[in-house]
Amino acid sequence: MSILAYDDEEEAIAIANDTAYGLAAYVYSGDLDRARRLAARLRAGQVQLNGAPFDPKAPFGGYRQSGNGREFGEWGLDEYLETKAIVGYEAG
């Protein structure tokens, strides 16, 4: 784990996103709404808030060089499916 100083949230987000990887990130805050706003801006496949335990029902996978695709839950099954849409209208 690395601990880096920052001056404001914008700089913290810039530091966190300045990487070729993006598997997971962690946000700790006394303000859950603020933590959620920050988490939404992080380029990581999974963001855990305030030390939340791992949830095997949540999708797990990375961004960028941490890989694409997801494991666990219904998202893990999507990797094995081919979805087809057939769009049309009734002739008449």
Quote the number of domains for the chain.
Answer: 1
pLDDT tens for the chain, 92 residues long, are 778 999 999 999 999 999 999 988 999 999 999 999 999 999 998 999 999 998 888 888 888 888 777 777 777 777 667 766 667 677 66
Residue 2 lies in a domain: no
pLDDT for the residue 20: 94
Structure tokens at 51: 């030390």
Residue 65 lies in a domain: yes
Rounded Cα gap, residues 1 and 89, in angstroms: 56
pLDDT for the residue 27: 92
pLDDT for the residue 86: 63
The residue ranges of DSSP E strands in 1-92, in sequence order, are 24-27, 46-49
pLDDT for the residue 3: 86
Residue 86 lies in a domain: no
Q: Indicate which CATH number applies to the domain containing 18.
A: 3.40.309.10
Residue 57 lies in a domain: yes
